[in-house]
Structure 1
Amino acid sequence: MFELSDKASQLRDKLNAFMEAHVFPNEHVFHEQTAKAENRWAPPPILEELKEKARAEGLWNLFLPDSEFGAGLTNFEYAHLCEVMGKSHVAPEIFNCSAPDTGNMEVLARYGTAEHQEKWLKPLLAGEIRSCFSMTEPDVASSDATNIACEIRREGDEYVVNGRKWWSSGAMTTTCKIAIVMGKTDPAAEKHKQQSMILVPLDAPGVEIVRPLHVFGYDHAPHGHAEILYNNVRVPASNLLLGEGRGFEIAQGRLGPGRIHHCMRTIGVAERALEALCRRVHEREAFGKQLVKYDSLRKQIARSRLEIEQARLLTLKAAHMMDTVGNKVARQEIAMIKVVAPEMALKVLDRAIQAHGALGVCQDSFLAASWAHIRTLRLADGPDEVHLDTIAKIELRPYA
């Protein structure tokens, strides 16, 4: 189960080498160029340079299991690569493997028409544009997606979209050109048949980017999370994905792999935090002895290694099950990793921050920004409470 194919092993080795040679040394360049740019929402030059290098080395679109568009890897194989990319917040986009584009490309590859694929999928695969996923709304509890109230109304050969969305991640960047919007086409239909998904170009009349949203003070430029107002936005009827009432079907197809990706990237962050913690305790002295000599810190390092290994094994089990028995059968395992991985990473990051002291909470270390980013994952793709409820329901089913 845990043997990696030669192809995936070679890609992982290449990824590790690329990260060491190009990504880690240029993280500060990425942030400096973004901070000094005339438009902070425009991709910094270093990002485009590194994308070209990655593409030239064949480290591109690794996430797509379809060999026509991607690397043709299984979920289990790609999970190992995802962990490597997760060690740097800037890395996934360099390899054209960043959310929400990965999920959106999978949707277009799986459910899009030939026209959708020509117009939107090809430029996304080429890394020429970016996309956003516009589902969450400020006025309803979006953890229950049946609450989504955005209206998608048919008028002749068009659909008219009206609603307010927020946390449309990636919508702030200047290269974001298309949104996949979830909304109601038929409020009278059965609960899970009311929702649909539709493609809305961000330059369509009536689309207003209201503001960027901050995460614990970070605006995550140049990517950004946007609040968007859709005010009588008209798009061709052909922009509807799969058909009316198929929104939940599309969402389930999109979210399974996405959760695996999030969790393995999260494990990558935790590994990097543990590496930083181990280096720090050897570098610093307090009260007359190295930090590494303190028993309390040694136990924290040991617990961090235990927790990372446990989370990785559970995540790889879920990926393996998705490949062998399908997402539906692996539903409990997918829910489990979505709770376990962010909780674990936050603990490891917190220990590393504590050992780094003042350095750990400022911009001179990756730790604070990583903590803020990982904390959002306890809400993204469903809050912990929803996943815990799913786990419990499946666990209790034989006893009903």
Structure 2
Amino acid sequence: MGASTDSDSSVPPVRAEAQAPVPSGRGGPLRRNRPLLLLVLEQLTSSVGRQVTALALPLLAIVHLGAGPLGASALLAMAYLPGVLLSPLIGVAVDRARLRRLLVAVAWLQVPAVGSVPLAAALDGLTWPHLFAAAAVSGALGSTQGVAAQSGLPRVVPADDLLPANSWLTGARTVGLVGGPALGGILIGLVDPAPALLVECATYAVGGALFLALPASLNRPPQDAGRGARSRIAALREGLAVIRREILLRRQALAAAGLNLGGGAGSGLFVLYVDRELGLPPWQLGTVYAAYAVGMGTGVLVATAVTRALGMDRAVRVCALGAGAALFLIPAASLGPAFPVLVLYQLLFGLLATVWSIAMTTSRQLLTPAHLLGRVNAFLQAVLTATLPLGAVAGGWLAARVGIVPVLTGAATVALAGSGSLWLPRGPAVRSP
């Protein structure tokens, strides 16, 4: 490693009151943007595979290893933990790597990582260490792919098209989120959970081929990459300097952390709350979950129009605040009538959280220098990834002591407080030292 340079020298000063411009959408028809279509197709296939695995993996641990609640929870945590711990290094690697080659490599490495599990199960050799290791490796590779794809999008889509492009990608993930569990349930009903994991292997193999078809220009570093620091420590400082200087990024991270903490607690207790506290029949629970998918789909369809009408900054603030406030409808359902209140909650939260996520991602891509986008994305992804399971675990622990409804109310308060931070005064301009 070479000598480090001044981390501040490669990052232009950013004023605290700066706002991300709203793309005009004049970059040309997106349906003719071949790299974007490849990314959308990859997101569609890989999200289906991940949802199948999210259902099959804990069932595999239960069937083959006799897992209880602790084992299933630990397995889920192991899938998240590597991405959180390694995110700073992932960000540096993404900013320095030949991006197309990296995307292909991490997609194809997922095939043996995930595929080793059904192979071991077929040979009656599956063990807990193997299962944990596979979840950890797959989680780290998935985090790398997520950061790399987000960082590469501004290099294949004009700035004017970033907002609708992010909507397209979110829409593809939404389709997978809806269709994946259904496909997983059918496969597991027909075969053992282990062979169902081969669906994710197939989607990663296809995803690697789609990444390979991306433009070769992605293997060239961004225009300003040569100005960056050489040592990893200095490179990390460069990424942190962007977040430190740009108050919008800090506020977005705080808002997202609050929403994920509150939302994680609510999600972890939701089924138990609906069953024990509200006594809703299964068909109503299924309808409630379907309402969330409808809300997400609507959010994808209207995100571009809403963001352009309100402006990027206001869309992020309004939708984040609305999503946080919607969480209060969960404990309010205990006052009755429960079913329509929960349907309304899922519709509102799915809609507002989706528009907020699309607008927030686009503003981050517009505000961050291209050669530092990997590090900024990785830092923020670590914050968001860590807070969701933390909220679920904390919510479960507290609910066992004070009850479900008080914890759900507290979780909504945390989410609203986090999203409300976006409305605080921006303060004086922050200049480069």
TM over 0.5: no
TM-score by length of 1: 0.35
Instruction: Select the structure with the greater relative contact order (CA < 8 A; seq sep ≥ 6).
Output: 2
- Which structure has the highest helix share of the two? 2
